[in-house]
Amino acid sequence: MSADDVGLSVVQGRNLREPVLAIGDRCEELEELQLMLGQGPGMDAAATDRPVLVPDLSVSAAADRWPVFAPAAVAHGAYGMFAFPVAIGAARIGVLDVYRRRPGSLSAAELADGLAFADAVLLLALDERGGLTFGAGRLIDGELPERRADVHQAAGMVSVQLGVGVDEALARLRAYAYVNGQRLVDVAAAVLARHLRLDSHDDNDVTAGIGITDIMDAPPSVGYEETEGEK
């Protein structure tokens, strides 16, 4: 299967995926984009337990479906993206994301390979004797569990500060990171260190005046189909 970047993330609740593996020069940034923006093919695949196949992220159909993620991914050099859920029945493990730096559909053989790779990850994840072991790539950030835990803790702090639910607090963190061109984990660290406070009454809070729903999870499209574009 031809791929330029491959990412693996595990599902943690309805609105959050935790990247655990990035293979390729740009994969870390691309996986971080989905986490920060709360939208993308991988998010839809996790929500629907169906593969989401996008031969060209630059076409209008992709921009309509993921209005923030699609152009941002293209700006990072990703044109094709194919997300395969790692799940069986009620066991929802995660998502395998395959990126290409050129547009184009998967061949029948490549689609079969993608499904087989996702099944292989599932078997490893369910293997109590071995668990998940990765022979290639690298853990994002090197201290992934600790860094991602910061995001959860920061969302809790913002929830208290603003008097909103945790989902809305996470959206505010995502908004701040996106508007300021920062990584979500870095914004979370600043909140925990009390170097940054998001306050709806603070004129310096750039998230207070923007449309938070623009970067919250878009309703996932249910189905097993490619977006319109080059087939």
Of 67-76, 168-177, 221-230, least confident by mean pLDDT is: 221-230
Distance CA 25, CA 3 (A): 12
Task: Please give the structure tokens belonging to residue 145.
Answer: 């569990």
Q: What is the CATH number of domain 5-126?
A: 3.30.450.40
Position 62 scores a pLDDT of 95
Contacts 24+ apart (CB under 8 A), 112-117: 113/1, 114/1, 114/51, 114/82, 114/84, 115/51, 115/84, 117/1, 117/84
Position 18 scores a pLDDT of 73
Delimit the domains of the chain by residue range.
Answer: 5-126, 144-215
Position 126 scores a pLDDT of 65
One-letter amino acid of 116: A
- For residue 87, name the pLDDT band (cuts at 50, 70, 90): confident
Distance CA 43, CA 34 (A): 7
